[in-house]
Every structure is written in C-alpha cells, then in structure tokens.
Structure 1
Amino acid sequence: MLAARLGGRAAVFGVRTGIRRTQRFPDLPELPEGRFIDLPGRGELFVADTGPREGAPTLLLFHGLATTAYLTWFSTIAELSRHHRVVLLDQRWHGRGIVSEHFSLEDCADDAAAVLDVLGIDDVVVVGYSMGGALAQVFWRRHADRTAGLVLASTAACWRTNVGDAMFYPVLGFANDRFRHRYRERVGAARAALSEIPLTAAEMSTWAWAEFRSTSAWALPEVLGALGRFDARPWLGEIDVPTAVVVTARDHAIPTARQRAMAAAIPGATVHEAPGGHASVVFDVHRWRPVFLAAVEAVVAELARTRETAEG
C-alpha cells in the first residue's frame, strides 16, 4: 500500500507540474461529443466517434497510462478526423472506463473489439501511445483480422528488460495480489464520483487537470503490473500489416533504445523520430504532432497501395 501511495503521489506531482506550464499547451480545441456504450457481459465505457464514415480507414486510438482518451489525443483529434473516422475510448481502470476485478491488456483489447462490433466497424488502423502502444500490439495479436495497420508511439515491446525491472515487477505483483481489492474499491469510488460527461470547454490547464484526475492514482500499481507482464518480443516478427513507429528521442520513461528495438523487429515498419520526451503528446505537441501525423499517413498510404495492388 505504501508503494502504491508513493507511486501515485509521484505521478500526480509530475503531471500537475507539467499541467501548470500552460504556455506549452495549444489552445484547447473543440472536442467531439462522446457517449457511454454498454458492452454486454463486459461493462459500460466512454467512447467518442467522429469524422467521415466513408473513404479512408477508421483510426482506433488507445491512450497512455494514467490518462484518458481525451487527454492523450486532444491535440490531434481535429486533424485526424478531417479525413478519417476516429474512435477513441477510456480503457479499464482509467477515466470513465470499465472498473473490473483486475486490469489486463487482453481485456482492454477485447473491449475495443466489442466497441467496434457495436459501431459496425470491420477493421481499423490501431494507434497507441505508451501503454496504448502495448495495447495496440495485443489488439493485433488477438484481433489480427480487424487490424488493418498499426501506429505505435513512444512505446516498447516489453517493459521488463533490465535488472531493476526484474526486481521491481515481481515485488509489485506480490503487492497487487494482496491489495488489489482495495485498489479496485478506490478506483470504483473515483469512477462513481465523476460527472456523466467529461468537461470539454474550459481554460486549458483547468480542463487538463480535471481530465487527469479522473483516473485514480490507485489504478497505477495494477496497470503497471499488467505492463510488467507484457512481452510481445516472441511474436513481433509475425506482424504483417503496415506499421509506423513514432520514437521520442529524449524519452526517459521508455528508453529510446527499447522503442527502436521494437521497430526493428516488426517487418517493414517505418520509423518517425520526434525530438522531445515521453510526454510530448501533451506538453510538446507543436513538435510532436507533425511527426505523428506523418506516421499515420505513411500507414494509410501503404494500405492504399496494398489494396490497389490486390485489386489490380
């Protein structure tokens, strides 16, 4: 419990410090209106669905650890939705996502597939940032028939690659097994206290802080435990869809070397380098966004070429 409290407080302090630096934010854009979708047998979660329904591939966006769909993607939704249908959702134990008995990337991937069923979408380009990048890899593994392409940003194929990780994650797993029920109670209470619909029009730092706080810090030990168990390295070479990797060159949360190793293991993956750190998606969007958008369009263009060849 002490480790969970200290980890949660450290994360809150770091994000709060960044959010106060409002000069690094763009103006808060108009966000698409979302709604709750009930997934039979799974639970209810918050989904936004915007952009044209015909033409280019649909993009399915997966957010990062301790954030929400809106907070991770607020700066890119408008641009992406000009030419693509864009679907984004709050994952389990985050924001207005499902509060389940435990957190797993596999459950999150299956939730996303169930959302596609409800929305009547056959296949998607899956886009993931940080934790969302791990989830995107798991989604391909479990739902390859629905994955047209991948965009993996500031992420890796494994979170557990050095001696420190090898010591940290087993201890965390032991603590989670003992205290998971308490974490879940706190996460559930935080979820129940949220307004029905997220605030979408306010001063930027106020909105960002409210959106960040919608995910309980008590979720972090459980989610980090799941990331510690994640390892896509044995099957990365089997990925057979167009893939782009956005590498954050000054990333201290997920070392750049791990990001590059993941990209090198995926056949045909293109690498797009952004100059900033791990939180570039929020705090350095002016430099990060053009690189990210180029990565998305690289995958979309490759899909178009592949389909033209198949039809020809």
Structure 2
Amino acid sequence: MPWAGGTYYEVSGPEGAPAVVLIHGLGLTAAVTWEAIGAALAREYRVIRYDLNGHGQSATPPGDASLTALSEQVIALMDALGVARAALVGFSLGGMINRRVAMDHPDRVRGLGILNSPHERGEELQARVEAQAQAAGEGGPFATIDAALERWFRPEFRAAQPESVARVRAAVLANDPGDYAAHRWVLAHGVRELIRPVPPIICPALVMTGEEDSGSTPAMSRAIAAEIEGSDCQILPGQKHLGLIEDPESFIGPLRGFLGRLPD
C-alpha cells in the first residue's frame, strides 16, 4: 500500500508525463470519486489520486482541520513523489483545496480544474450549510446522508444505478464521525478564504458545475471564474452535484482539452 506521511495515494499513467493531482470531496475517497476520470486521464498524464486527511485510508494528522492543512497535504505529497509542478483537479471541497494551494504555492501549480465547488453562498444558503455542518457534528454522517444523496444524484440515476449510489453512501458512512464533522466545518466556512482571493489566483483554470447543483451552483462557478483572469466556465445541463460519477464523459472531454492547453 503506498503511503506518504500518512497519506494514502495511487499513481497511474506514463512515467515522465505531466502530473495531474485529483482531489476528492468531503466524506468520499479517491477510488469512489475518480475511477472513470482517473483512468481516462492516465492515458496521457501521470495521475496522482489520494485520500484527504482523515478520509479513506489516510491518517488523521494532529492539529485542527482547516483548508490550509488540507492544501499542505497536497504539497507534502507532491514533495514526497518528487513532483515540482502539477495540474490540480478538485471536486467540491477539493476545488476549495486546490484554490488554496494556488494562492499559497503558485509556483507549484500548472492549472486548476475546479469541479462542482462552492463559493460565496449568500446569507440563506450559508445558514443552511452551517446547519448541515452542525447536524453532522451532532449525529455524524448518518445525520445527513439521505438528504445529501438526493442533492447529489438525479432521481433517474438513483433508480437505475443503485449500486453506484450505495457505493457512495458506504464511503460516506465509513468516515469517523469526528473527522467528518471537522471537515464539514471546513467546507462550510473555508469559502470565506477564497472569495476575491488575496493573493489573486493567476494560473489557468477550468471551472465546471451542474446546472442543477444546489450547493455548488452555476452562479458560484461563474463567480469563481470571474475572479481568475482568463479562466473558462462550463455549466453542464441537467447535472446535479455528483455528475462526475453519473456521467464522467461530460467532464473527461473538457478536462482533457484544458490540460492539453496548459503551458509547460
């Protein structure tokens, strides 16, 4: 089992190819999130998938959970693998983490793929997200999983692909309740660090979300893109939060095009 300082990771793709780091979201794992997309990108890129702190097979480091702690995990993993620069593709919380890395370590980032990631929410939605984080703190992942699956997947997918939905459910419920609650607070509050970022993010970026994603809305993706000069924003019709599992091909094409255009 490959480990680097307590982080579980997997590497695939041609040696010497440009590196792409895939960063999953809250409560999930690299394997559950990136199975299809990781395999497709590994035909051309050196793909690094890993489990976030306290998720999957990665250890929980000492200290409080924070966006900075999660971004430093990326840098530590890159250092351990001898990767000087990489494109960082992050989903949801992962799209917050890669933005934090780009702010703190711009010389290490070739480009950002920011997928279904939250941004400035407005008072009503921010209060709802904080209430969900509070519920997770009191009842762990069990307290919020059923409502989450309804937000994440379209009804027709849940009916047609119960095994895929069950796999996501199992991954979330496998989390340690304390770790899950701590990282849910990061998801709730960390966006404040990323609004109109200082220092500004200067690397190329592709921002994507689903048209029906209620937590990482099209308006949020457009706002993220507006704050990163020269970035591209794409809204996927009819998709909800976990469109990258429902329909990975809709993400693979734009990601391959974006990665192929990145400067060395």
Is the structural similarity TM-score above 0.5?
Answer: yes
Partner of 1:83: 44
Q: 1:129 to 1:206 in 2, by over 3 A?
A: closer
TM-score, normalised to structure 2, is 0.79
Structure 1 or 2, whichever has the larger Rg, is: 1
CA distance 1:170–1:236, change in 2 (3 Å): farther
Cα drift, residue 205 of structure 1: 6.7
CA contact (8 A) 2:89 2:98 kept: yes
Structure 1: gaps of 5 or more residues: 1-34, 184-202, 308-312
| CA RMSD between the two structures | 2.8
The separation in 1 between residues aligned to 2:51 and 2:132, in whole angstroms, is 28
Q: What amino acid maps onto 2:205 in structure 1?
A: T
What are the ranges of 5 or more consecutive residues in structure 2 without an aligned counterpart?
Answer: 141-162
Alignment CA distance shift 1:217-1:297 (3 Å): same
Residue 220 of structure 1, aligned match among 180, 199, 213: 180
Q: For 1:256, which of 201, 204, 218 is the aligned residue?
A: 218
1:274 maps to which of 236, 241, 244: 236
Measure the CA separation in 2 of the matches of 1:36 and 1:211.
20
* 1:277 to 1:207, Cα distance in 2 relative to 1, 3 A: closer
Instruction: Using the TM superposition, give the Cα deviation of residue 244 of structure 1 relative to its aligned residue in structure 2, in angstroms.
Output: 0.6
Q: TM-score, normalized by length of structure 1?
A: 0.68
- Cα separation, 2, equivalents of 1:205 and 1:171: 20
1:166-190 Cα distance to aligned partner (Å, 9 max, x none): 48639968x96xx8xx98xxxxxxx
TM alignment of 1:161-200, pairs within 5 A? 161-166=122-127, 169=130
Aligned to 1:72: 33
Distance in 1, matches of 2:91 and 2:198, equals 17
2:77 matched to which residue of 1?
A: 115
Cα separation, 2, equivalents of 1:115 and 1:270: 28
Aligned pairs (5 A) from 1:1-312:
35-39=1-5, 44-55=6-17, 57-100=18-61, 101-158=63-120, 160-166=121-127, 169=130, 210-230=170-190, 231=192, 232-235=194-197, 238-275=200-237, 276-282=239-245, 284-285=246-247, 289-303=248-262, 306-307=263-264
